[in-house]
């Protein structure tokens, strides 16, 4: 905080707190960009190849984690599989197993399903 500005004593702490929050928000924004940047070894992973689930797919990992929390109820995974038009085992491979990823259309369907479940309206 610049000392040249005369400020009432009761505003000094809120202004310092606001400056700290702004500084922290900037730091968090810079660090979050780094967290979602995909690091590739150009020799082993040429550009253009399909991503495989794992450390290089942090957004997919976060989506899987969120979906998994809504599939704990008995039969929920089977209902989701019916909605996606897939066998239950395939949904299990996407969500629980983690070794596979759905195609783009089914990923968007999963996002839509998750939004509906979080709103409480439930998918139709």
Do residues 72 and 25 both lie within one domain? no
Does residue 42 belong to any structural domain of this protein? no
Determine the pLDDT at residue 1: 47
Q: Please count the other Cβ atoms lying within 10 Å of the Cβ belonging to residue 78.
A: 14
Instruction: Tell me the C-alpha distance between 25 and 105, whole Å.
Output: 34
pLDDT at 30 over 80: no
Instruction: Tell me the C-alpha distance between 76 and 71, whole Å.
Output: 5
Determine the pLDDT at residue 9: 79
Does residue 112 belong to any structural domain of this protein? yes
Secondary structure in 3-state letters for 72-109 = CCCCHHHHHHHHHCCCHHHHHHHHHHCCCCCCHHHHHH
Determine the pLDDT at residue 124: 56
Which DSSP category does 99 fall into?
Answer: S
Highest-confidence segment of 14-23, 27-36, 91-100, 107-116: 107-116
Determine the pLDDT at residue 77: 92
Does residue 46 belong to any structural domain of this protein? no
Do residues 21 and 69 both lie within one domain? no
Do residues 69 and 108 both lie within one domain? yes
Does residue 93 belong to any structural domain of this protein? yes
CA torsion, ordered 68, 71, 73, 76, to nearest 10 deg: -170
Q: Which residue has the higher pLDDT, 9 or 122?
A: 9
pLDDT at 4 over 70: no
Determine the pLDDT at residue 15: 83
Do residues 62 and 115 both lie within one domain? yes
Do residues 64 and 109 both lie within one domain? yes
Q: What percent of the chain has pLDDT over 70?
A: 81
Do residues 98 and 68 both lie within one domain? yes
Range of the domain at 87: 58-119
Number of domains in the chain: 2
Does residue 84 belong to any structural domain of this protein? yes
Do residues 108 and 64 both lie within one domain? yes
pLDDT at 5 over 60: yes
């Amino acid at each position: 905080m610049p000392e040249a500005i005369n400020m009432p004593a009761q505003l000094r702490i809120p202004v310092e707190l606001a400056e700290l929050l702004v500084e922290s928000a900037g730091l968090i924004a810079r660090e979050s960009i780094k967290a979602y940047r995909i690091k590739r070894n150009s020799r082993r992973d040429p550009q253009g190849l399909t991503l495989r689930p794992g450390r290089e797919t942090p957004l997919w990992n976060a989506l899987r984690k969120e979906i998994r929390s809504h599939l704990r109820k008995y039969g929920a995974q089977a209902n989701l599989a019916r909605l996606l038009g897939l066998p239950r085992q395939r949904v299990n491979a996407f969500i629980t197993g983690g070794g596979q990823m759905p195609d783009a259309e089914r990923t968007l369907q999963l996002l839509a399903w998750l939004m509906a479940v979080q709103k409480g309206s439930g998918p139709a």
